[in-house]
Amino acid sequence: MSEYNWFHMAQSQAPAALSLRLEEVIIGGLALSVLVMAALLFFLAVALRKKIISAGPLYGTGQEGAGERLREHVGKMSSFQIGELLKYRLAPFKPRLMAVVLITGLTGIFCCNGANAQTPVKSDGSSLLGEGGIIITLILVLLPVLTGLILLFFRIRKIMVRQNEQLLSEEAGSLAAYLGSLKPEDVAALERRKAALDYALTHRELSGNEPAEDTRGLLTVNSAPGLPIVAVKKKALPRPHIDPALSRLVITYLACATGWLLFGTSVGEYVGIKFVAPDIDQASWLSFGRLRPVHTNSVFWGWASLGMLGLGYYIVPRVSNVGLASIRWGWYALCLINASVAIGTICLMAGINNGGGEYREYVWPVMLLFAVGLGLTLVNFLKTIAARKTREIYISNWYMVSAIIFTIVIALVAYIPYWQNGLGETIVQGYYMHQGVGMWFMLFPLGIVYYFLPQQLNKPIYSYSLGILAFWTQILFYTLIGTHHFVFSAIPWWLQTVAIVGSAGMVIPVVAGTTNFLMTFKGAWHKVQDSYTLPFFLVGIVFYFTGSLQGTAEAFRFTNLLWHFTDFTVAHSHLTMYGIICFFLWAAIYAVVPRLTGREAPQITVGAHFWLALIGLMFYSVPLMYGGTLKGLMWMEGKPFIENVSAMMPYWLWRAIGGSLMWLSHIFFAYNMYRMIVARPAPDVRELAIRKLAERVPAEQEKA
């Protein structure tokens, strides 16, 4: 082992970088505390105003209005109050004054606290405000002032409340006197009023007097549910008749995908750690440059692709209302894709790769296995759709089948081994990698969402036409944007401009898609809290909107200047590939697997998976975006290169922490898959009892 390890690096690097950013942290903290103070003052003002307004009528009324107000009180009395009143009606009544006036203290408190309340922020020279020491001092001064303000608020509030009580007590005294002087006819009216107020239905008007019986088996009474640790969500509905052979195929796809997710993100986690501990190992097969593509390719082609295809094998026959054309071909495709990723991983670690284009690192014979797998799937899906029993082709199939066709086109363009010299390679690389993302990893999961979201919400998709608009505009604009990864490079300027314009055009399909999904939720938002799949969909939809529009923003020329080549792009790709694709896939997997196996994952581990993944993603991406921006600014200022490496160190550490949380969430996911697929459910006591009875009865009959 080398003498550099994680801690060593973290210790030797972080302080320098931290001190560099200390100023910003302090300025941020200062701004935050000022904001909090402003908010508190605002709250104080609003609360005081409310108090004064509510107290107004009590202060402002004269003697002539008093009688009317007392009569109003009597009119508003409840049945119980009337009953009580009638009980005490003839007893002698002595009004008592209980409250003590405390108002004298008020002015005094205002005076002595007022002296402290002056904000000590002076208009120093701006250069001074930038100094760390002065900022720390200001914060230290502000903290007690802030505390004083909070205390002041509560004291004032207390005084106001007491004052109010005092006034109410006086009012009650005069009301009591008035009630004591009521005439007999008033009392008779009150008795009638009480009878009217006491009137109630018998609650048997509709049901009659027969005992209730559930003759149709609609009700299940769950008595004594116990103390719930997690919120109880609805169980998956059992679905009749799913071909067991198809069910096995789909489950195997999803299980393989889970395996690649675990492998790929373990590699990713390790690669992330290497940023803070570069000498953690020095083996050639594990060096950063070789492992990075292992991570990206195995989560792309292993996890996400197999997950998508597995769900596709479930959806396509279902929405076509026929069986899958060939289950055997489905197995062939699964084997080919698994082989492609496994061989590709070994090749990359052994140093055999295609030349360094992102996501194009597998050499073409390896990628050919994947493409053949896709080809088999395409034919299978098309045959199924051709034999469909519905007239229309459901929109899910538009997206998913097109995604497969386009991906085969993309792979052919990028991998035919006879061209792409010089800049041709770069132009095709931009096209390939972005179409891979947009036409495969985006189009296909959108198809999945168009099936599972309405299913889980139990209502149709909001607008079929919006889905179709998004479909065509996605093809029109997304195809153009590949070269925005090479803005300002030597590729033709017009092509760069086309890519930027296309990126802006992506607003249309993204807004159309997001609107469609969110409007489908309309009127069914309450279902989110009952479901453990819908939160995954919701997160996916939110990132679909923000992540995609972030991509548009990144494509502009100025933002390219600032963010290109920095860790910002890494954050962006995780926000999208993870925030959108993974969350959609998880949502659909949690929706479909219980239907196939009849077993559900424990809700507590589903919850752990969800929250760890979401929080981990935030810890991962926000520091990288912030650090990436700082890096870009430092480059623009012409700082020596090595300075930004040191400056990134704390953000890389955060990234490793966030990555660890994400990785942990995948362990939970894998466990949930195990529980849904493999684990035997606890035996049903009632079923067991009946079985035992069935065994015993014939035996007893034999004896007899």
Partner 1 sequence: MKIFDDHRYLFGSATALFVGLTMLVAIMPAIHNQENNRPLPGAEELSPEAGRGKAAFVANGCVACHTQQVRNVDMDRQWGSRPGVAADYAGIRRTDFWRNTATLMGTERTGPDLTDIGNRQPSADWNLVHLFNPRIVVKESVMPAYPWLFTLKDEPAESDVVVNLPEEYLKGRKGKVVAGREALDLVAYLQSLKQVPLPDGSEAPSFLYARQKNEVQKDGEAPGGPDGKALYVANCQACHQENGEGLPGAFPPLKGSAIVTGDDLQLYVDIIMNGFDARPEYAAMAPVGTNLGWTADEVAAVINYERSSWGNSAPEVTAEEVKEVMKFIDQKIAQP
Q: Report phi then psi at 590, rounded to 5.
A: -65, -25
- 301 closest CA partner among 336, 351, 269, 353: 336
* Amino acid at site 673: M
Residue pair 691/651 in contact by the 8 Å Cβ criterion: no
Here the tokens at position 117 are 């309340």
In the complex with partner 1, the residue whose CB is nearer, 297 or 605, is 297
- Which of 125, 133, 184, 422 binds partner 1 (CB under 8 A)? It is 422
Decide if residue 2 touches partner 1 (CB under 8 A).
yes
Decide if residue 385 touches partner 1 (CB under 8 A).
yes
In the complex with partner 1, the residue whose CB is nearer, 176 or 495, is 495
| Smallest separation, CB 302 to partner 1 (Å) | 18
Residue pair 37/149 in contact by the 8 Å Cβ criterion: yes
Decide if residue 358 touches partner 1 (CB under 8 A).
yes
How far is Cα 520 from Cα 270, in angstroms, rounded to an integer? 40
Decide if residue 645 touches partner 1 (CB under 8 A).
yes
* Amino acid at site 349: M
Here the tokens at position 128 are 């001074």
- Which of 256, 437, 442, 480 binds partner 1 (CB under 8 A)? It is 480
How far is Cα 278 from Cα 401, in angstroms, rounded to an integer? 43
* 437-466 residues near partner 1, rule: CB under 8 A: 439
* 48-77 residues near partner 1, rule: CB under 8 A: none
Decide if residue 561 touches partner 1 (CB under 8 A).
yes
**Stretch touching partner 1 by CB under 8 A, among 97-105, 240-248, 419-427, 510-518:** 419-427
In the complex with partner 1, the residue whose CB is nearer, 474 or 514, is 474
* 615-644 residues near partner 1, rule: CB under 8 A: 635-643
Q: Is 630 helix (H, G, I), strand (E, B) or coil?
A: helix
* 125-144 residues near partner 1, rule: CB under 8 A: none
- Which of 300, 301, 303, 398 binds partner 1 (CB under 8 A)? It is 398
Residue pair 474/438 in contact by the 8 Å Cβ criterion: yes
Decide if residue 427 touches partner 1 (CB under 8 A).
yes
Q: Which x/- pattern, by CB under 8 A, does the window 259-298 give for partner 1?
A: ---------------xxx-xx--xxx--xxxx-xx-----
- Which of 139, 146, 495, 508 binds partner 1 (CB under 8 A)? It is 495
| Smallest separation, CB 541 to partner 1 (Å) | 24
How far is Cα 66 from Cα 68, in angstroms, rounded to an integer? 6
Tell me which DSSP letter residue 469 carries: H
- Which of 28, 95, 351, 598 binds partner 1 (CB under 8 A)? It is 351
How far is Cα 593 from Cα 598, in angstroms, rounded to an integer? 8
| Smallest separation, CB 486 to partner 1 (Å) | 7
- Which of 95, 148, 365, 681 binds partner 1 (CB under 8 A)? It is 365
**Stretch touching partner 1 by CB under 8 A, among 217-225, 253-261, 337-345, 567-575:** 567-575
Distances (CA, A) of 451 to 236, 403, 454, 585: 16, 15, 6, 12
**Stretch touching partner 1 by CB under 8 A, among 80-88, 479-487, 544-552, 672-680:** 479-487
Decide if residue 569 touches partner 1 (CB under 8 A).
yes
* 160-199 residues near partner 1, rule: CB under 8 A: none
C-alpha angle 673-677-678 in degrees, rounded to nearest 5: 105
Q: What is the dihedral of CA 53, 59, 61, 63, to 10 degrees?
A: 170
- Which of 32, 151, 177, 393 binds partner 1 (CB under 8 A)? It is 393
- 110 closest CA partner among 163, 143, 159: 159
| Smallest separation, CB 348 to partner 1 (Å) | 8
Instruction: Give the binding-site size for partner 1 (rule: CB under 8 A).
Output: 101
- 446 closest CA partner among 289, 585, 303, 648: 585
- 370 closest CA partner among 438, 446, 304: 304
| Smallest separation, CB 355 to partner 1 (Å) | 4
